[in-house]
Structure 1
């Protein structure tokens, strides 16, 4: 028998949680000042609002599928290449470290971190670019992440997350210009801003490791300014970026515009590293060659399900137009499931890829 959340025996457990939030920085997000949920809910006796958001995200089907989705390298058979799931774990770890150091709300950073990439397609950004070209309204993974938590999960009811978590998920993306580029705007909460930067800290560093393993780079080939400013090892670079973020952000807390940021020198070196990875990894012909095979699968499946919406097996809303249903269904697939569906429908004869150690 379920316990009534109003059971007076539960009352003592709530007070310490509220006291903990009350002791956070004056710049921290709090349940007491939250813009709330689309559908009002009574307070949970054992969890604050952002803890509840986090738990709801972790228990979704979309979250579980991240372990079989590409980060950069399209290769489902390697045990060592970063997946969308391991990337997400690293993002929330970096975000929580920064949030704790700044005495901000770790629960909110964790919720946003777990949910920020739920909307990624199979085959990483290659699949995203394909759907963006095919879909009438375009396609962006951050917008799809928001759609998942607002509409697709729970058979169309969504997760009913707080406004702060939903905003952080939407606004985590940035443009190629800079890790500080605004793109979809700046999150109102510092916790949302943390996740946006933590996303870059995580992927820039683990993508170096994957690229070295793939034979596209060697540590010695990284730009000199990256070694001089950020460090010569994976751990040193992450430590530099996290520490610099804490120091640079703390300095803004004494102004009328507190923000999460990097110092000028570290930001310049980070953007140099990002552009270097675009040229040497993300746009490298061997990377693109594998990605194009994934794009062919995504395009074939999308066009098939637009023409045959009656064959969409879940993960879409029946009242939506065929293009929207196909976009939701195909973007939600894992790499392996997309390949198997394409093979079953006769679109690809095989999908063997060069093994990466």
Structure 2
């Protein structure tokens, strides 16, 4: 039984290219399956969050992160009576547009693409699922439902209009080109909030990375459990484990504490959502979209505590000297490859060169090059850089 404000499969706005209904899967289940079977999803296995792919088998990749986000999204949406399949599909797709080398690669590509319309990983995810995946006979992309496309575009909130968060807002006349193209073909109502399922996928992303960055940072040795005991959220979790299991072996202690951090975030989101939904009494998914505020969020006290945790992670992990050294090395990879392909597109693989004959100007060519570079995995980008530039790999395994 779904809540009245959930996205109902039978009420979907459909697909850009009409298709017959499956006899055994809902439209949102088909979206989820198409995302999982896409080439872009498989490549997430070798794209990283913070650490470069060679640095260890235990650090999260974009693939493991996406799976964790999907698990959290299914849990929260299930408790709230939302459509778990839609929430899962959006969660699995939310990172498809990321470049190699995490936000380091995105920062470099956004800078290089500034003269050609910029680069935004959320918009790039839309470009992938509407254009760049080319496996189906009847259309480019995955031909996802409107609701899934809306969720990819707006899971962080409206991107234009008075309700857009400044962090994610865009000038209506200067939208990222990948987003503008999709929106021109099919209005995604960019000035409204997305469905509750998309909002769940967004908060699940926050839950997942807040949890696993603590875990990965400990494993890397950038900080210790004693450091975390000084932080809100984490400190009380370790203290509780020590009280319940005095003398517990180190790795079990770490796991027990961090799963309590994880649990507190999920429980907080559910409690806040239940309270806000009870107060607002939305009768439909459109009531959610036009509420003018996010319905799925952390409580104010926990949000403030998580800000302290994220500040700690920023200084001790994301800007740690060893991480910054590798960031500089992999930035060089993107800085070298993009202009190289722009000057000599003949270096692109044959299947990519097929599109070059139709380009009308340098902007269109740059966008093809950006599509190619953004789709690279960490390992492949490093290998291609070494091969094409005739240099040693900028980062070596081990």
Question: Which range, TM-score by smaller chain?
Answer: 0.7 to 0.9
Match of 1:190? 196
The count of residues paired between Structure 1 and Structure 2 equals 328
Residue 254 of structure 1: SS of its match in structure 2? helix
Q: Structure 2: how far apart are the matches of 1:341 and 1:173?
A: 34
Shift in CA distance, 349/170, structure 1 to aligned 2, threshold 3 Å? same
Residue from 100, 105, 110 that aligns with 1:122? 100
1:154 aligns with 2:197: no
1:301 aligns with 2:325: no
Task: Give the C-alpha shift of residue 171 in structure 1.
Answer: 2.8
Q: Structure 1: how far apart are the matches of 2:352 and 2:269?
A: 39
Task: Give the C-alpha shift of residue 225 in structure 1.
Answer: 2.0
Deviations 1:214-266 (A, max 9, x none): 22111221343233577662100110011111110001112336611111111
After TM superposition, the structure 1 stretch with the greater mean CA deviation from structure 2, 284-293 or 309-318, is 309-318
What are the ranges of 5 or more consecutive residues in structure 2 without an aligned counterpart?
A: 158-164, 170-190, 240-256, 283-287, 289-294
CA RMSD, aligned part only? 2.2
Q: Structure 2: how far apart are the matches of 1:191 and 1:65?
A: 25
C-alpha contact (below 8 Å) 2:15/2:143 kept by paired residues: yes
Task: Give the C-alpha shift of residue 206 in structure 1.
Answer: 0.7
Match of 1:37? 15
Residue from 326, 337, 355 that aligns with 1:290? 326
Residue from 356, 377, 388 that aligns with 1:334? 377
1:62 aligns with 2:69: no
Q: Structure 2: how far apart are the matches of 1:108 and 1:181?
A: 26
Task: Give the C-alpha shift of residue 74 in structure 1.
Answer: 1.3
Q: Structure 1: how far apart are the matches of 2:320 and 2:155?
A: 25
1:139 aligns with 2:103: no
Deviations 1:170-224 (A, max 9, x none): 23458xxxxx986257742101000111101111111111111222111221343
What are the ranges of 5 or more consecutive residues in structure 1 without an aligned counterpart?
A: 1-22, 175-179
Tell me the TM-score normalized by structure 2: 0.77
1:227 aligns with 2:234: yes
After TM superposition, the structure 1 stretch with the greater mean CA deviation from structure 2, 197-206 or 275-284, is 275-284
Q: Structure 2: how far apart are the matches of 1:77 and 1:285?
A: 15
Deviations 1:319-344 (A, max 9, x none): 35210011000000011111111111
1:254 aligns with 2:278: yes
1:205 aligns with 2:205: no
1:245 aligns with 2:225: no
Task: Give the C-alpha shift of residue 161 in structure 1.
Answer: 0.5
